[in-house]
Chains A and B, each alone.
Chain A
């Protein structure tokens, strides 16, 4: 059974710093990995989707990497801003028992950027 872990559960950093969020998964037979952002009381917003054949994806100040063999992904945020404060979730896509793709989610890292 796929398990997805995100450590730490919470992180506070001063504005302007670069930071890395971590995600690990137990089964490397994945289709893709997706990073989401969730603001309090809101839904999930997709940030980056990395296919299993890719090593990284970039969008603006965000860069996500994927190392399937070691079961790890990182989300790098450059020059952090207070508006980056949110909970960041990673989700691993793999084949389910029902034949289609299934996302398994981590519990998230709650990020606070201190002005």
Chain B
């Protein structure tokens, strides 16, 4: 049982390049989330999904797109990377509802130059 995994762990992009971050969970969770963590700020929600085939915007969705084609996977895309997207990205999942804790992946450190 690997929990929540993220690929890649590190990435350096040039401004304007694109990339996709992959999140996978093996706990059969319904809800999945993408957050970004920046120094001096709490984690902020980018996008989330409440089930296979569904996605929705969080607090800071601009510049990102997501897809949830399979229940276990949640992809985060950057179509045209900007230096402001330099951050650590975390994926999380939960069974859903108010009683369940969120489980986090190890993070992806992205630098955009």
A102 touches B101 (CB 8 A): no
Q: Which of B13-21, B36-44, B66-74 binds A?
A: B36-44
Given contacts A102-B45, A107-B40, A107-B42, contact A51 B104 (CB under 8 A): no
A42 touches B48 (CB 8 A): no
Complex partner residue of A44 from B40, B97, B104, CB under 8 angstroms: B104
Q: Which of A12-20, A62-70, A75-83, A93-101 binds B?
A: A93-101
A49 touches B101 (CB 8 A): yes
Bound together, the chains give a CA A26 to CA B104 distance in angstroms of 25
A46 touches B103 (CB 8 A): yes
Any chain B CB within 8 A of the CB of A105? Answer: yes
Chain A residues within 8 Å of B, Cβ to Cβ:
4, 31-32, 34, 36, 41-46, 49, 51-52, 89, 91, 93, 98, 100-108
- How many residues on the B side are at the interface (Cβ–Cβ under 8 A)? 27
Bound together, the chains give a CA A17 to CA B103 distance in angstroms of 29
Complex partner residue of A43 from B31, B90, B100, CB under 8 angstroms: B90
Considering the complex, give the chain B residue whose CB is closest to the CB of A30: B98
Contact with A along B83-101 (1 / 0, CB 8 A): 0000000101000011111
Residues of B within 8 A of A46 (CB): 101-104
Bound together, the chains give a CA A9 to CA B42 distance in angstroms of 12
Residues of B within 8 A of A43 (CB): 4, 90, 104-107
Given contacts A42-B107, A98-B56, contact A103 B102 (CB under 8 A): yes
Any chain A CB within 8 A of the CB of B112? Answer: no
B48 touches A100 (CB 8 A): yes
Residues of B within 8 A of A89 (CB): 42-43
Given contacts A42-B107, A44-B90, A100-B48, contact A32 B56 (CB under 8 A): no
